[in-house]
Structure 1
Amino acid sequence: MNVLILTNHLNFGGVSVYAHQLAALLVRKYGAKVFIGSRGGDLETELERDGIKHIRLPLTTKCEVSPKVFVSALRLRGLVRREKIDVIHANTRVTQVLGALVSLLTRRPMVTTCHGYFKRRLGRVLMPCWGRRVIAISDQVWDHLAYDFDVPADRIDLVYNGIDPQRFVPHGAAEIAAQKQAWGVETDKKVIGHIGRLSSVKGQKYMLLAAGILRGRHPEFRWVIVGDGKEEVHLRKLIAEKKIGDIVRLCPSAGNTSLALAAMDVFVMPSLQEGLGISILEAHAQGVPVVASRVGGIPTVIEDGVTGLLVSPGDPPAIAAAVEKLLEDRSLVEAIASRAQKRVAEAFTLDSMTQKTQAVYQSVL
């Protein structure tokens, strides 16, 4: 099978990681020939290693009717015909429209994955561009598609995002100490961490406000946010305003996610919206307890008090209380981490996700 996967970029983030890992396993396990079309990014160098061909496209736009989308469609038309692409798989709004154009020009079927939540704008009503089938990454996203956008239920496939648990391995004290030092954190300090794209919808500012709340009682805590994005300027301004620069670190995207997570004592996911949360799955696989917002698909992953702690979105005092609860109760941490690791291995593996996605591809041929 020959597959063309489309996404806006390949910088670190949930959709990019999804596209890369899905493509890699399709190549390795199913012998597929996979192309990823995007404007490029941090993960681009890893594609060649995994046998994936990258097609650079001028997708430096969020406008679905930008001339860049039409230019990209004309370029991909030739690729689809030349490489005998069987399925086009779009993963963002811009690439949904792009994929629909390429599908129209080449008569090749398109499927889409809905990774989160969308506003019901006129463009989506007039040009839904969902493709022949739509993959929902959580039960809540399935409901969003069916009830907010009237996508017929028999066209929606529920396929949970997945990770490879074997990538998340134990790390020695020396490795963890070196990682903390790279962040500018003393090796004996507790780390409350977060990994993700820096964006207002990810709610990182509420984590910083929680840091300010706990500073008086727990000056030994260090708060580390790992990631890149447009929100960095606002986060640094907030750190300065709250005078918490001595206990907070903003660090660039992690090359070794397993090691970064191993250096954290608690992982915080303070999102205001979230389709599912790959970072949560990764933290669970690494054995790190998670405090997360009760939004979107996160409750699909976390059962409150069982596999993590859930808090109301945008609630710094609740984040602070949950973090404090975990760091003061070692037995609770161990129980939650153990159950969460087991849950990921049972329900959220990359192998299962890829198998079900490949079945969706087969269904449209």
Structure 2
Amino acid sequence: MRVLLVAGRLEPSGTAMYVANLVRGLRRLGQDVRLLYGGGVYGRMLAEEGYSVTQLDGLGREVYDLFVHRRQVKEAGRGWAQLVHIVSDYVLRRGSGVAQILGLKAVVSFHHIVERPIVLPRSVVRVIAVSETIRTHLVNAGRLPKERIRVVRSGVDIEQAERNCQSRRGEHELVVGFVGAVERRKGLEYLMKAFELLHQRGQRCHLLIAGQGEMLQEVRGWAKRSGLLEFVTLLPNFTSHWEVLAATDILVLPSLQEGYGQVVLEAMACGKVVVATAVGGVADMMEDGKTGMLVEMKSAESLAQALARLLGDAELRRKMGEAGKARVQKLFPANKMCEETVKIYE
């Protein structure tokens, strides 16, 4: 199958990880794949790895007249592509425009809880939800009929994880890491309060927040006001989530809302213990008390208690990290995701 993948901006995010895993995995399965995307480090990374990649900046914009770049779209897919895969609901309209220009059918993947009404273009013949939570939401909210949606859980490139994310060894300051959009829906206000509680109770550790978003200045201001600036690192610009995960001992995801929570799987694949709220697909990924800890939503106290327990017990961190890694390798390999995706293409 010759598939043209269409994406928006591929900056570090769960969707960007999904796209990279899909491109690599489909190629390993013998599929002929090209990527048309709207800019970002993950697209450039795939180009450097030798994959066929075309950057079309407008695909990364909310308001964009795709037909202005009709020639470039045709060059990317006309006479070659057999199917268009719109890899995120965020680019549904733009991706369906690509399919229309090329006269092809399309598949679309949903990664997010969608609050707005959805009108699927006629070119879209299959819908993929990356978690059962997303499919249930789409059906219950009356967005799409259940029979049109197939669940294909997003997976992890195990080889990439083992190659790029080594365990931290020797004496070092313990690091609690957050990777994702620095936005209110991620529960960062509760993480900040929990971090204060840890230090007030004598639990010294470092907080690493990697990502950009509406709360970045607020978080920076909090670190200064709380007197914890020396214990907080903000990393708004980074090129590899593997490097960030390698620098952490515990991944924390205190989200109020998630479509999936891909970074949880990536952390588990690295052997990192995870503390998270049971939102989106997270509850399906983790075994509470075995591969990590699920905490109460909007509760700084619950979060602080879970972090304190793990920070104070290296053996528990190791056991949970190993259990999480084994679970990802068994249930969430990217190869399985790609094999199920190919079946939908066919």
Normalising by structure 1, we get a TM-score of 0.85
Cα separation, 2, equivalents of 1:22 and 1:229:
26
Residue 242 of structure 1 corresponds to 226
What percent identity do the matched residue pairs reach? Answer: 27
The 3 A distance-change label for structure 1 pair 81 and 252 is closer
SS state at 2:201 partner = coil
Question: In the alignment, is residue 21 of structure 1 matched against residue 21 of structure 2?
Answer: yes
Stretch of structure 1 that moved more, 230-239 or 13-22: 230-239
For 2:249 and 2:144, the matched residues in 1 are separated by 41
Q: Which amino acid aligns with 1:216?
A: Q
Tell me which amino acid in the other structure corresponds to 2:120: P
Determine the structure 2 residue equivalent to 1:206.
190
The answer to whether structure 1 residue 95 and structure 2 residue 91 are counterparts is yes
- List gaps (5 residues or longer) in structure 1: 178-186
Cα gap change, 1:20 to 1:71, in 2 (>3 Å): farther
Give secondary structure in 2 for the equivalent of 1:132.
strand
Question: Which residue number in structure 1 is paired with residue 152 of structure 2?
Answer: 159
Q: Which residue pairs with 2:312 in the alignment? A: 328
The answer (yes or no) to whether the contact 1:40–1:56 under 8 Å persists in 2 is: yes
Q: Does 2:68 match 1:71?
A: yes
Partner of 1:261: 245
Q: C-alpha distance in 1, partners of 2:56/2:76? A: 14
Partner-residue secondary structure (3-state), 2:3: strand
- Are residues 1:315 and 2:308 paired? no
What letter matches 1:90 in structure 2? Answer: I
Unaligned runs of 5+ in 2: none
Identify the residue that residue 53 of structure 2 maps to in structure 1: 53
Distance 1:291 1:54 in 2: 38
The answer (yes or no) to whether the contact 1:289–1:337 under 8 Å persists in 2 is yes
Aligned to 2:257: 273
Amino acid at match of 2:202: H
Counterpart of 1:231 (choices 200, 208, 215) is 215
Q: How far did 1:23 drift?
A: 1.2
Given that 2:274 and 2:292 are in contact with CA atoms closer than 8 Å, whether structure 1 keeps it comes out as yes
Q: Which amino acid is 1:317 matched to? A: E
The residue number in structure 2 matching 1:251 is 235
Q: Take 1:67 and 1:29, find their aligned partners in 2: how far apart are those partners?
A: 34
Give the 3 Å change call, closer, same or farther, for CA 76–315 of structure 1 in structure 2: farther
Q: Following TM superposition, by how much is the alpha carbon of 1:233 offset from its aligned partner in structure 2, in angstroms?
A: 1.7
Change (3 A) 1:6 1:314: farther
Q: Distance in 1 between matches of 2:160 and 2:87?
A: 24
Secondary structure (helix, strand or coil) at the match of 1:303 reads coil
Give the 3-state SS of the residue equivalent to 1:194 in structure 2. strand
Instruction: Give, in whole Å, the separation in 1 of the partners of 2:249 and 2:305.
Output: 15
> Quick one: distance in 2 between partners of 1:286 and 1:172?
7
Partner in structure 1 of residue 41 of structure 2: 42
- Give the aligned partner of residue 181 of structure 1: none
Amino acid at match of 1:52: S
The SS at the match of 2:85 is strand
- 1:159-213: CA deviations, max 9, x gaps? 111111222337376xx68xxxxxxxxx631111122232332233322221111
Measure, in 2, the Cα distance between the counterparts of 1:336 and 1:258: 19
Q: 1: CA distance between counterparts of 2:167 and 2:275?
A: 24
Contact 2:181/2:213 (CA < 8 Å) preserved in 1?
yes
- Alignment-mate amino acid for residue 114 of structure 1: F
Q: CA deviation at 1:219?
A: 4.8
Aligned amino acid, residue 297 of structure 1: G
The answer (yes or no) to whether the contact 1:116–1:273 under 8 Å persists in 2 is no
When residues 238 and 68 of structure 1 are mapped into structure 2, their CA distance, relative to the original with a 3 A threshold, is: farther
Number of aligned residue pairs = 342
Cα shift at 1:138: 1.0
With normalisation by structure 2, the TM-score equals: 0.89
The superposition leaves residues 64-116 of structure 1 with CA deviations (integer Å, 9 ceiling, x where unpaired) of xx3434435x3465236634211111133452112223333443111111101
Give the one of 218, 224, 240 matched to 2:202.
Answer: 218
**Partners of 1:89 and 1:327 in 2: CA distance:** 43
Q: 2:112 aligns with which of 99, 113, 116?
A: 116
How many angstroms apart in 2 are the aligned matches of 1:83 and 1:204?
A: 48
The one-letter code sitting in structure 2 at the alignment partner of 1:109 is K
| Structure 1 Cα separation of the partners of residues 167 and 272 of structure 2 | 15
RMSD (Å), alpha carbons: 2.4
| 1:222-277 Cα shifts (integer Å, max 9, x gaps) | 11112234432222122223332121111244445444323322110112211222
Question: Which of the numbers 144, 148, 160 marks the counterpart of 2:137?
Answer: 144
